């Protein structure tokens, strides 16, 4: 381990014009700038997707509400789902991965910097295409504007007979284009992690974040490809009279479901594995201990990667598969719970016996573990096929996957924001505001999504723009919507905190958390090309070795 | 009820809510899976309580571990700033928390597989009633091939006495997009998928009306594709079948309305047996007045609602496929009078 922190002289930002600086960002191939662009882009879409969610919840606050028409509601729920998965969760995680992976493995950039930029702009273009549907989706037909077929776009609702105009085409194109971007990014991650690690960093000494992003990238390749193929087939159906999914001409609606969910389920792990990575980096630093059971964590991640490719049809328990198929997918889905449980135990093992510093990043990670535990357990319930015949497609499922995506992914992301914000901006965030953000959002999250399980168990299906009074759903739906406003308040505090800290925050220094991975060895923010001289490492915690020469990790690993 | 639900903040609380609903004795309009009234729903209910209990135990154990470690090992204000002992892992522990969850998964899987087999592979007795359910945007068509009855949106089935079971076996088809048949108190849901034949069965043990609705997004009015199942005593069911098999009543007092019906676009979509109306796109109206609701449960079947539905379907179901008929008041009144004669 030989890297001192060396701050390279930075071009004085203020002397250059705004167009010059903008131009620099547009043409950049630097992994950190691209990472930040991914993150900013995703935050903009997070706000848009959040507004759509708010419209959905206001409509459902009381039965027979007339806040929006059914047509608008269906567009909102389709756009909310598509936006949050393809244009918020994926880009924001790619952004963090882009920013952190080269820094953490001691590389100067990604393996293919220009492919990296190309992938980002493809994804950005995909998002614009999706939202252009509000203007261009109507086409010449006088049909609806934005897509309204649901984010899984089940056939044959997407066929021309049921989806006139161009709204579905915009959806298809947006997902197709951003899918190519994702595939490019996945290739880049794999090449970077396999071949750009600094001297001494064997696969066994790689930070868990790099390992988990490697598995994530592998899953992207396996999962996005069938989705892309299905989108191409759907376009052929719609424009040249192919009959893959056209049931009226002998096509199969079930085939689309298989194509979609062989993407859709691994996609959950594409999103959650990078969040496991954040938690696996933050929990050790704030517990002052190395990660518990590193090799088992790696093994569990790889196991999740493999098993997650065999579980897709648990989304299809109600389509009338044979009892053998239902039993198989019950089993494979429950098996995923084992490596996932191992991770939770290892995080608790990391905290056990440590000195836990309850700062904002750690608070979000602890909440992540708690909420992910519940999400996992409701997942086991849904894995039991007969239980799923009751709960599937009900609000219970909506509660379950928002527990994963908000309670898991978004909480881990907020933790990651606070943890790496000093590195990315060079400034410290405001801890008081961060804690206010945590508690407001925590209360809002639990008010909304804990209660959402209940109407599901009382027979309320998802994707309904209104519901009948007197079925025991009214009271819960009212409280669920109230929770949304707490979440909005939390996000506003978050945005205010980041904005204020960027402008006025105190200087963070290179290593504000007394952490152990290589990104903290360089300046904050890191210079172009990251390291003046490429570091050499001897253990999983190179900065620990540097700080504790009397007790280095490499003696024990 | 609400108190029990508030306890549902946690998984353990969800279990409590379920048990509470399950214990309710009087019929209520809440379509809950926790008050099963049919064999498949009851097996699912038993399995779900088992899975909930196991999940609850796991939750309590792991949650306690998490809270204990955060509280016990938090950094104290009098901390000396030294690093805690650096522990890298423990193979016996890793083995323990791999094997124990593995055994739990095995038990859960076996319990689940048994219920899957019991429900899906149940034999069909000779005495079973056959119904073909056809999903449409946005209503239900029910055909009883053995009995020669066609109706819509309100399914009538006989109560099934465990000593002499008369279960109802449903064949599920779709005329357009995907739908899903779901009456939580009678069975879990099964999808209706075009170009595919699905099956499910129910054997309700108690008479009454059971509520449900379409559970697979099927288009604009998915939300108002409501579903009602009437479980009748055997005598009532037979009486109902006899009544439904009759052709439409011919009443000369409403011949003006009948003329409106038979000379407008109504007959393109609706059928009334014994008349020229033989459309298949909309519900069969032969015994319209035997049904309690119209527009697939979106409105009660009253004179005013019927009139408004024909005049402006969007008033109940914006985006439904029934067009506004643009009749003048006189024709509209005559038509409603005719429909009201279809008992």
Q: In which band, very low, low, confident or very high, does the pLDDT at B28 lie, cut at 50, 70 and 90?
A: low
A266 φ/ψ angles, rounded to the nearest 5 degrees: -55, -30
pTM of the model: 0.93
Residue of B nearest to A249 (CA): B195
Question: Minimal Cα distance from B56: which residue of A?
Answer: A377
CA–CA–CA angle A134, A157, A244 (5° rounding): 115
The CATH number of B252-340 is 2.60.40.420
By Cβ distance, the residue of B32, B97, B116 closest to A327 is B116
Query: If you average pLDDT over every residue of chain A, what do you get?
Result: 94
Shortest distance between the Cα of B247 and any Cα of chain A, in A, equals 32
**C-beta of residue B149 within 8 angstroms of C-beta of residue B287:** no
Using CA atoms, how far residue B268 sits from A409, B262, B291, in Å, is 52, 9, 21
Comparing alpha-carbon positions, the chain A residue that sits nearest to B320 is: A70
Please answer yes or no on whether B55 and A381 come within 8 Å at the CB atom: yes
**Residues A174, A82: contact at Cβ < 8 Å?**
yes
Which part of chain B is CATH 2.60.40.420? 130-231, 252-340
- B30: which chain A residues are within 8 Å (Cβ-Cβ)? 458-459, 471-472
- With a CB-CB cutoff of 8 Å, which residues 62-121 of chain B face chain A? 62-63, 65-66, 69-70, 73-75, 79, 83-90, 93-94, 97-98, 101-102, 105, 108-109, 111-113, 115-117, 119-121
Please name the residue of chain A whose CA is at the shortest distance from the CA of residue B68. Answer: A352
| Any A CB within 8 A of B191 CB | yes
Q: B119, A320: Cβ pair inside 8 Å?
A: no
CATH number of B130-231: 2.60.40.420
Beta-bridge partner residues of B204: B38
B180 and A CB contact within 8 Å: yes
**pLDDT for residue B15:** 45
CA dihedral A235, A238, A243, A246 (to 10 degrees): 120
Tell me the torsion sign for CA atoms A543, A545, A550, A556: positive
Question: Cα separation of A237 and A239, whole Å?
Answer: 6
In the prediction, which pLDDT does A47 show?
95
pLDDT over 60 (residue A2): no
Burial of residue A294, with CB atoms counted within 10 A of its CB: 0-12 exposed, 13-18 middle, 19 or more buried? buried
Please check the confidence at residue B19 and state whether its pLDDT lies above 90: no
* Per-residue pLDDT at B101: 96
Q: Which residues on B lie below 8 Å from A346 (Cβ)? A: 89, 94
Best mutation target among A205, A326, A389 (most B Cβ atoms within 10 Å) is A389
Asked if B73's CB is within 8 angstroms of A352's CB, the reply is: yes
pLDDT class for B95, splitting at 50, 70, 90? very high
pLDDT digits (tens, 9 = 90+) for A39-67: 999 999 999 999 999 999 999 999 999 99
pLDDT confidence of residue A323 = 96
Across the interface, whether the CB atoms of A459 and B8 are under 8 A apart is answered no
pLDDT of residue B137: 95
Map out the domains of chain A with their CATH numbers.
Answer: 28-555 (1.20.210.10)
pLDDT band at B208 (very low <50, low <70, confident <90, very high): very high
Q: Residues A319, A398: contact at Cβ < 8 Å? A: no
Mutation test of the interface with chain B: which of A74, A333, A461, choosing the one with the most B Cβ atoms within 10 A? Answer: A461
Rg (CA), chain A: 23
Per cent of chain A over pLDDT 70 is: 96
Query: The tokens of A291 are what?
Result: 């990660």
Q: At what angle do helices A253-287 and A360-383 cross, to 10 degrees?
A: 150
Report cis status (omega within 30 of 0) of the bond before A525: yes
Position B2 pLDDT exceeds 70 = no
Name the token pair of A13. 């930002």
Mean pLDDT is lowest, of A344-348, A369-373, A528-532, for A528-532
Q: How far apart are CA A481 and CA A60, in angstroms?
A: 8
3-state helix, strand, coil in chain A (%, to 5): 70, 0, 30
Residues of chain B with C-beta less than 8 angstroms from the C-beta of A337 = 101, 105
Residues of B in contact with A70 (CB under 8 A): 220-221, 223, 318-319
CB-hemisphere CA count at 13 Å for B24?
21
Answer whether B122's CB lies under 8 Å from B201's CB. yes
Answer whether A557's CB lies under 8 Å from A550's CB.
Answer: no
Residues in chain B: 343
Q: B 31-60 residues with CB below 8 A of A?
A: 31-34, 41, 43-44, 47-48, 51-52, 54-55, 58-59
| Average confidence (pLDDT) over A410-434 | 96
Q: Which pLDDT score, from 0 to 100, does residue B4 have?
A: 38
Cα A192 to Cα A103, A117, B48, B323: the distances in Å are 11, 15, 46, 60
User: Which of B36, B46, B194, B215 is the mutation pick for testing A, counting most A CBs within 10 A?
Assistant: B215
pLDDT band for position B27 (cuts 50, 70, 90): very low
- What pLDDT digit, counting tens, does each position of B274-310 carry? 899 999 999 999 999 999 999 999 999 999 999 999 9
Give the bridge partners for B151, in sequence order: B142
Q: Is A555 a residue whose pLDDT tops 90? A: no
Asked if residues A66 and A248 have their Cβ atoms less than 8 Å apart, the reply is no
Take residue B119 and report the two structure tokens written for it.
Answer: 């429900």
**Does B334 or B2 have the greater pLDDT score?**
B334
A75 touches A146 (CB < 8 A): yes
pLDDT at A473: 95
For residue A17, the model assigns a pLDDT of 85
Tell me the three-class secondary structure of A9-30, residue by residue.
CCCCHHHCCHHHHHHHHHHCCC
User: Which tokens go with A71?
Assistant: 């047509």
Query: Does residue A8 surpass a pLDDT of 70?
Result: no
Q: What is the mean pLDDT of residues A114-123?
A: 97
Instruction: State whether residue B300 sits within 8 Å of chain A by CB.
Output: no
Give tens-digit pLDDT for A257-314.
999 999 999 999 999 999 999 999 999 999 999 999 999 999 999 999 999 999 999 9
Of the candidates A510, A557, A436, the one whose C-alpha atom is nearest the C-alpha of residue A4 is A510
């Amino acid at each position: 381990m030989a890297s001192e922190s060396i701050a390279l002289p930075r071009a004085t930002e203020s002397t250059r014009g705004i167009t010059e600086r903008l131009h620099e960002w547009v043409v950049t191939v630097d992994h950190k700038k691209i990472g930040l662009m991914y993150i900013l882009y995703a935050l903009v879409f997070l706000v848009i997707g959040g507004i759509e969610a708010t419209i959905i919840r206001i409509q459902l606050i009381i039965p027979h509400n007339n806040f929006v028409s059914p047509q608008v509601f269906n567009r909102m729920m389709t756009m909310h789902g598509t936006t949050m998965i393809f244009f918020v969760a994926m880009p924001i995680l790619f952004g963090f991965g882009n920013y952190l992976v080269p820094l953490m493995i001691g590389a100067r950039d990604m393996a293919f910097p220009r492919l990296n930029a190309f992938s980002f702009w493809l994804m950005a273009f995909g998002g614009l295409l999706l939202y252009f549907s509000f203007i261009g989706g109507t086409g010449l037909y006088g049909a609806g504007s934005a897509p309204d077929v649901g984010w899984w776009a089940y056939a044959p609702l997407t066929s021309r007979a049921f989806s006139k105009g161009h709204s579905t085409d915009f959806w298809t194109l947006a997902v197709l284009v951003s899918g190519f971007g994702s595939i490019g990014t996945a290739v880049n991650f794999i090449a970077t992690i396999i071949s750009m690690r600094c001297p001494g960093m064997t696969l066994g000494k790689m930070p868990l974040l790099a390992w988990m992003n490697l598995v994530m990238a592998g899953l992207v390749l396996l999962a996005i490809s069938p989705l892309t193929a299905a989108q191409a087939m759907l376009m052929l159906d719609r424009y040249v009279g192919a009959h893959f999914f056209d049931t009226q001409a002998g096509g199969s609606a079930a085939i689309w479901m298989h194509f979609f969910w062989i993407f859709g389920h691994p996609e959950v792990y594409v999103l959650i594995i990078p969040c496991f990575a954040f938690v696996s980096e933050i929990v050790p630093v704030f517990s002052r201990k190395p990660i518990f059971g590193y090799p088992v964590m790696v093994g569990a991640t790889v196991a999740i990667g493999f098993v997650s490719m065999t579980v897709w049809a648990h989304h299809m328990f109600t389509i009338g598969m044979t009892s053998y198929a239902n039993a198989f997918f019950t089993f494979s889905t429950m098996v995923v719970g084992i490596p996932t449980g191992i991770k939770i135990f290892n995080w608790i093992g990391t905290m056990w016996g440590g000195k836990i510093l309850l700062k904002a990043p750690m608070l979000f990670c602890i909440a992540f573990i708690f909420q992910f535990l519940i999400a996992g357990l409701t997942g086991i319930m849904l894995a039991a096929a007969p239980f799923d015949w009751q709960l599937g497609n009900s609000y219970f499922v909506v509660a379950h996957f928002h527990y994963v995506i908000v309670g898991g992914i978004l909480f881990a992301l907020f933790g990651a924001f606070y943890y790496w914000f000093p590195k990315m901006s060079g400034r410290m965030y405001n801890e008081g505001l961060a804690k206010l953000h945590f508690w407001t959002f925590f209360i809002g999250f639990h008010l909304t999504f804990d209660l959402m399980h209940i109407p599901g168990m009382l027979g309320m299906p998802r994707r309904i723009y209104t519901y009948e009074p007197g079925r025991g759903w009214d009271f819960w739906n009212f409280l669920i919507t109230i929770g949304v406003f707490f979440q909005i308040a939390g996000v506003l505090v978050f945005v205010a905190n980041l904005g204020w800290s960027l402008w006025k925050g105190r200087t963070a220094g290179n290593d504000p958390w007394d952490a152990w991975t290589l990104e903290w060895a360089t300046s904050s923010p890191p210079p172009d090309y990251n390291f003046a001289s490429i570091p050499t490492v001897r253990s999983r915690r190179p900065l620990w070795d540097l700080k504790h020469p009397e007790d280095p990790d490499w003696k024990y690993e | 009820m609400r108190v029990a639900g508030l306890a549902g903040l946690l998984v353990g609380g969800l279990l409590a809510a379920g048990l509470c609903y399950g214990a309710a004795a009087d019929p209520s309009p809440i379509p809950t899976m926790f008050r099963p009234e049919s064999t498949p729903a009851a097996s699912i209910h038993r399995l779900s309580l088992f899975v909930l209990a196991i999940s609850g135990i796991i939750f309590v154990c792991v949650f306690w571990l998490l809270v204990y470690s955060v509280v016990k090992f938090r950094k104290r204000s009098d901390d000396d700033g030294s690093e805690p002992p650096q522990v890298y892992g423990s193979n016996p522990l890793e083995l323990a928390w791999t094997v124990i969850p593995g055994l739990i998964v095995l038990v859960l899987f076996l319990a689940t597989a048994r219920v899957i087999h019991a429900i899906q592979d149940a034999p069909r007795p000779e005495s079973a009633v056959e119904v073909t359910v056809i999903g449409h945007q946005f209503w239900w068509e029910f055909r009883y091939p053995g009995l020669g009855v066609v109706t819509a949106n309100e399914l009538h089935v006989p109560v099934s006495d465990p000593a002499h079971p008369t279960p109802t076996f449903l064949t599920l088809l779709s005329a357009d997009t995907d739908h899903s048949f779901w009456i939580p108190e009678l069975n879990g849901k099964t999808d209706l998928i075009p170009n595919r034949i699905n099956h499910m069965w129910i054997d309700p043990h108690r008479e009454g009306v059971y509520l449900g609705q379409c559970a697979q997004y099927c288009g604009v009015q998915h939300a108002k594709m409501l579903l009602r199942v009437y479980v009748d005593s055997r005598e009532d069911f037979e009486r109902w079948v006899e009544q439904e098999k009759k052709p439409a009543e011919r009443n000369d007092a409403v011949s003006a309305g009948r003329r409106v019906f038979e000379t407008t676009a109504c007959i393109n979509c609706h059928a009334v047996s014994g008349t020229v109306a033989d459309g298949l796109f909309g519900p069969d109206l032969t015994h319209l007045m035997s049904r309690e609701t119209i527009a697939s449960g979106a409105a009660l079947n009253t004179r005013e609602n019927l009139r408004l539905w024909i005049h402006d379907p969007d008033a109940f179901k914006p985006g439904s496929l029934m067009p506004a008929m643009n009749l003048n008041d006189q024709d509209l009144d005559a038509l409603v009078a005719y429909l009201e004669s279809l008992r």
